[in-house]
Amino acid sequence: MKHPASPNAVRACKKLLQGVAEREINASLVAATVQGIAETRASDEGKEGVQSFLGKRKPSWLPA
């Protein structure tokens, strides 16, 4: 079963890509990226995504 990303995760990913484009990769940028990904995964949508994947069901943001 395919589990597309949540709407907020897609927005966060696009924002991240825009924020790091053409920047030098350094420890500060890596740390900020790791923090942002962790916050997205710890969000309610992030938790729902993981639980729906593990439960082999559609996430709440997709129609039943």
Q: Each residue of 16-60: pLDDT tens digit?
A: 999 888 899 999 999 999 999 999 999 999 999 999 999 999 899
Length of the chain: 64
Regarding pTM above 0.75, the answer is no
- 6-15: long-range contacts (C-beta < 8 A, 24 or more apart)? 6/45, 6/46, 6/48, 6/49, 6/59, 6/61, 7/45, 7/61, 8/40, 8/43, 8/45, 9/40, 9/45, 9/46, 9/49, 12/36, 12/40
Does the pLDDT at position 3 exceed 80? no
- The neighbour count for residue 49, using CB atoms within 10 Å, is 22
